[in-house]
Structure 1
Amino acid sequence: MTTDKEKLQQTSARVTHGFQPINRLPAPFMMRDRNLFSPSLALLLILFIISGCSLNKPKYGTGVSRETQSVAQSADKLLAQAKQQSFPRNIELIIQAAGQLQAIDTDRAKTILDSIKYDELSPKLQASLALQQAYIADKKGHSQDVFSWLEQPVIMESNDTSILRSTHIMKAKAYNRFGEYTASLDEWIDALPMMSSGQKEQYSPILWNTLLHVPENRLQALSKIYTDNDISGWMELALIYQPGTRLTDQLNRLIQWKQQWSNHLANRYLPENLEALQKRSHKPIQKIAILLPTSGHLEKVGKSVQRGFLAAYYRDRRAYEDKPELLFLNSDGDTIENLLQQAYNSGAELIIGPLEKGKVEQLPQNGSPIPILALNYSDSNDSSIPIENLYQFGLSAEDEARIVAERAWLDGYKNALILSPDNNRGEKIQKVFRDTWQQQGGTVVLNKEYDTATQFSPLLGKLLNLPNSQQRAKKLSQLLNQSLGFEPRRRQDIDVIFVAASPKDARQIKPALAYQFAGNIPVYATSNTYSGKTNRTQDRDLEGIRIPVMPWFGMSSTEQQQLKNAIQATWPLSKGSYGTLYALGADTYILHTHLQQLISLPGSSVQGLTGALHISPNGRVSRKLRWYVFRYGKLASLPLSSTRY
């Protein structure tokens, strides 16, 4: 009987680095050595995989529509036919079957397509396979995979109209999801002349979303180049929605646009009752009541927001008599009922605040006679249901966790490890990331909390199964009675890591990952990982971490930079950890000046120091942030093809 030691000796000559499985056959269609893969063997393996797909197909029974059952039966019929055909006809049928399955079961469709070796196909089949893979990536929201498949030479060099149209549409959608709106618009412009009226109607919401975010100078330049009626109508409408224009002027121009483009598809995006909106827009807000804690334990927080608000107020170019009167009410130690009553009695037409979360959750759930712009988010009410005249704006780490999950998913990752501090804030952040990740279709492989006493290197080594790899190598060495060239092998089912960490903790986590042979796993974090100041010596330990950053810290317009400079010159405290609160205060003033516009013209936005701001249908102010990556100790813009780093 062969002993364990003899079995190991028989294979020891093949052991080099790591503890990799041996005698494992590569996937049938991914073999690279043509000499080892004869056409007859290829056909046998194709038939085997098709049979597996058929035998293991899901049961579409009770509760499934007849249409779904019909599609599944049609696809299974094609797969059965493929078993009777030789190459390449069988591949054509397999790809056709996967194309049908996309509508009802993208996972099964992808499994089928992944079994096909791309490099062995003719250019025609390569194009068909690449397009089907791109369709699935687009449906799943994996934008980086969309680009990878559509950048295949057979697609990029094609002159086929249907391929070109599909390529431009999918790229436009992928760029839009990444927030690369100018690139997205370029793709839409190429696609529109090739699209049917039904396709134009189908994709108009995404096209409109793209146009709303393209810079004004780019829209103006393009409107002079493209005179096609279809494109020109879209451009002119998007130019009207640009921020910086008074609502009264916008509404006048919208009425003119409607008269000129009465039959244009974009009419569906005009607000209802334009004339009624026009009448209301002539009355600017005369008085604002601002509820902030200017004493007590939140005094520094409240005063930072207040100062940021005043900085924006005094930089407002309007004449003094056109600016609203301000009434500041100290919210510390007072009830929300009393504060609201004071504001109402004062004749205020807008209330800003409160800042304290507890008071925000006590705001009237049945609405308010005048608009309230709260400076925090409530967790107590159903956030999907809007409350009349209630809007909520704040700097929520939970919102950033959602933004991070969405970006990592767009970049094509699927299996996440979450690291978060063992406290209430960490629990909330990791929960939002986890929920968003799973809703998108991702898997949370591990979710681990840490505390101030945590040693990150041993912790990460354990999470990544390094001790098990080391134990196996030790046993092998003992059985062979010889020293082996060995590199521990970490677990391979994690392709992305999210850390909700402070700068101090993140500077320990990233080097620990490298030490535990996981330095190549992409790491995403919230902006809390950035201290707010460039420190190239310390932040070298953050190399490669990807974070969303508000304009206060990153790239900003000239006007935004001037406002930031004015704040920091007046209040040095704003250069430190309180800086984001000054930015919040400044953006609150900017937001109030565009409040009617953002409410009346859905989809419109305004640029602020905390991000690009727009109001969701539920009354919550959302922020769009730019993405950065730590390179050589400082922040650099994260390129679109971030997965190639």
Structure 2
Amino acid sequence: MLSSIFVRIKTGLVCSAMLAVMIIAGCSVPDQQGQQPLQTQDKVSTEIARYQSIIDAANGEPSLDVIRAYIAQEPLLKDNAAHQKNIDDTWQMLTRLSPQNRSGLVINADENILQGWLDLLSTYQDNKQDSDKLQAAVRDWKIRYPQNPAAQSLPTQLQPAAIQSQGTDIRIALFLPLSGQAKVFGEAIRQGFLDAQAGLPTPLLPTENPANLSTATNDNTSDAVVSADALPNAAVPIESTPPAVQSTPVIANVPVNTQQVKIYDTASQSLENLLIQAEQDGVNLIVGPLLKPDVVKLVQMNTPLNMLVLNELDNAQPRPNICYFSLSPEDEAKNAAEHIWQQQKQNPLILVPRGTFGDRIAKAFAQEWQKQGGHTVLQQTLGSSAELKQLINRGTGIRLTGTAISATNNQPVSTTIGDLDIPQINTDAVPTSAGGSVDAVYIVSTLDELTLIKPMIDMAISSRNKPALYASSRSNQAGAGPDFRLEMEGMQFSDIPLIAGANLPLMQQAAGKFANDYSLMRLYAMGIDAWSLANQFSQVQLQSDFHLNGASGMLSVQENCAIFRQLQWMQYHQGQITTIPYRFQDASRRQGSESPGA
């Protein structure tokens, strides 16, 4: 009995001594649940704020540092709602990483939580087309990473109910003009849509087919260089754009299935009748219409069916069942403004066709330029090729002057399909002089016009003060050869990934179908991407961070569920074409901008 009391007293003394040592050392006592030592609330709040400052400073731009900040912040949060928000925000940041970003990630060996998150992202990317496979893969991931906070509470998007709703069978109706004047446009989109359903050809890397494609790499730059004569054996020879492959993101794989796609000709029946017929056929997603008047009518019918319309509306009201996808010329102008701003230019001049189409493009460029942080944009309008030839014959060059663009938000109404544009009300321009020397010129012209415009610019300025020159895809047409590429030395231009060589066999296939008509090839690419978007429609609707390496551009979602296309930039260099690596800008950062009329 005595020995037992002695043991208890001795044990108590030892515990008291240990407690005293801990107090002297500044340690805190674990709570009864065996949790980690408690920090003072002030210290916790300071740590949370420190990590939040890293997150806020990124302004939505994905990076490992931001993801690490979310991971470090998570165990400090006490509220269940705050935990779930942290998990959802971590997941959204991960899904914003482009495929190029993901492939270049390097993490430390002891970053088990981060590794788990990255594996969860891979699990999602590999299985997102099949809801059953995705749910099974997520369950397996939770077994492999039981300590990951997402294993305790999945991101909302990956919870079973959300996955199941994404997996609802899609029954698609294609609303296109397949007769009448717009038949050629509708047919190009239809072919792209159905070819994507059957599966795209596998992209070839330059090293995989050296007989057809010889490449040379400039050691001083990261640009890929492709020989001017390095072409795949297309059904119809392609002379204008030898594809620059290596820096162009590969077009993403498309969902392949055998579902029946209902096709309706919007030129042969009223939209009211077509909508009734589609509902009777059990359709739950309409892709189309294409022409803006048809889009306006269909939207006004207030159908509950989901719609991926192939044009944009001016000042469209948000509708939860409608997304907008178009080959918007305004999107291309915004691409140009971003690209030129990123190249540290300050005083741009935009050369556009005389008329309302040119005014519209100039206004979109100016709005984006000012949003990037720039100030005045000058606009100069140009006449036809015949007028330009008269000027050049008289020895008259193009002076780098113009009028300041009034970048107000009143958007005019128009219809643009491919290169076809219906005129509209003109916009106002305020005469002004340049606030500094023009250091960038963005040219919106045809191929024939560009061959005159560049020498006219060279004629009017000294070689020491030459600005950087940029051109829209409007000038990238079949038929230009080596002489043209040499004449355009140094000029940068943009176009869709399909034409830039992101999938050479697919480019070859499209060239054969449309006899190298790049306008129709762009619509064909639009049809391919419309198929991908239709099969991921619930994700497009719900995720502001959605993006896709498409055939018509790097696709992302902006306000009103309008799909934004970022194009590939290239440059003429010593008779060859170099690609300029993508710098992806998330369209969610464009919130608040007005959707352009297309």
TM range, normalised to the smaller chain?
0.5 to 0.7
Percent identity at matched positions? 25
What's the counterpart of residue 615 of structure 1? 557
Q: Does 1:625 align with 2:557?
A: no
Q: Does 1:283 align with 2:168?
A: yes
| Partner Cα distance (2:378, 2:112) in 1 | 53
Tell me how far 1:588 sits from its aligned partner: 1.6
Partner letter of residue 543 of structure 1?
E
* Kept after mapping to 2: 8 A contact 1:377/1:392: yes
Partner letter of residue 565 of structure 1?
Q
| Partner Cα distance (1:603, 1:194) in 2 | 19
Q: Deviations over 1:333-359 (max 9, x none)?
A: 543333222211222122111111111
Partner letter of residue 356 of structure 1?
L
- Counterparts in 2 of 1:591 and 1:462: CA distance versus 1, 3 Å: closer
Tell me how far 1:603 sits from its aligned partner: 2.2
What's the counterpart of residue 376 of structure 1? 311
What's the counterpart of residue 350 of structure 1? 285
| Partner Cα distance (2:300, 2:367) in 1 | 26
* Kept after mapping to 1: 8 A contact 2:95/2:545: no
What's the counterpart of residue 554 of structure 1? 500
Q: 1:528 aligns with which of 474, 483, 493?
A: 474
Q: Deviations over 1:249-272 (max 9, x none)?
A: 345545666784787599999335
- Counterparts in 2 of 1:409 and 1:196: CA distance versus 1, 3 Å: farther
Query: Superposition pairs for residues 156-235 of structure 1, below 5 Å?
Result: 208=93, 212-215=97-100, 218=103, 222=106, 226-235=109-118
- Counterparts in 2 of 1:216 and 1:236: CA distance versus 1, 3 Å: farther
What's the counterpart of residue 177 of structure 2? 293
- Counterparts in 2 of 1:380 and 1:339: CA distance versus 1, 3 Å: farther
Q: Does 1:238 align with 2:112?
A: no
Q: Deviations over 1:290-339 (max 9, x none)?
A: 11111111111111111122222223799x99522122111115433332
Which 5+ residue runs of structure 2 have no aligned equivalent? Answer: 1-49, 77-85, 202-252, 404-433, 584-598
Compare 537-546 and 300-309 and name the one that shifted more.
537-546
* Kept after mapping to 1: 8 A contact 2:351/2:443: yes
| Partner Cα distance (2:508, 2:469) in 1 | 32
Which 5+ residue runs of structure 1 have no aligned equivalent? Answer: 1-164, 466-489
Tell me how far 1:637 sits from its aligned partner: 1.2
Tell me how far 1:242 sits from its aligned partner: 2.7
Query: Superposition pairs for residues 544-583 of structure 1, below 5 Å?
Result: 544-556=490-502, 560-569=503-512, 571-573=513-515, 575-583=517-525
TM-score computed with the length of structure 2 as normaliser: 0.61
What's the counterpart of residue 192 of structure 2? 308
SS in 2 for 1:369: coil
Structure (1/2) with the larger helix percentage: 1
What's the counterpart of residue 21 of structure 2? none
Runs of 4+ in 1 over 4 A off after TM superposition: 191-198, 204-207, 251-269
Q: Does 1:463 align with 2:401?
A: yes
Partner letter of residue 589 of structure 1?
W
* Kept after mapping to 2: 8 A contact 1:306/1:585: yes
Query: Superposition pairs for residues 78-477 of structure 1, below 5 Å?
Result: 208=93, 212-215=97-100, 218=103, 222=106, 226-242=109-125, 245-248=128-131, 249-254=133-138, 260=145, 264=149, 270-271=155-156, 274-285=159-170, 287-315=171-199, 323-332=258-267, 334-365=269-300, 367-382=302-317, 385=318, 387-452=319-384, 453-454=387-388, 455=391, 458=396, 460-461=398-399, 463=401
* Kept after mapping to 2: 8 A contact 1:361/1:379: no
SS in 1 for 2:499: coil
* Kept after mapping to 1: 8 A contact 2:470/2:491: yes
Tell me how far 1:377 sits from its aligned partner: 1.4
SS in 2 for 1:364: helix
- Counterparts in 2 of 1:301 and 1:193: CA distance versus 1, 3 Å: closer
- Counterparts in 2 of 1:585 and 1:595: CA distance versus 1, 3 Å: same
| Partner Cα distance (1:266, 1:436) in 2 | 41
Partner letter of residue 111 of structure 2?
D
* Kept after mapping to 2: 8 A contact 1:397/1:526: no
Tell me: higher relative CO, structure 1 or 2? Use CA pairs within 8 A at least 6 residues apart. Answer: 2
Structural RMSD (CA): 4.3
SS in 2 for 1:613: strand
| Partner Cα distance (1:404, 1:424) in 2 | 19
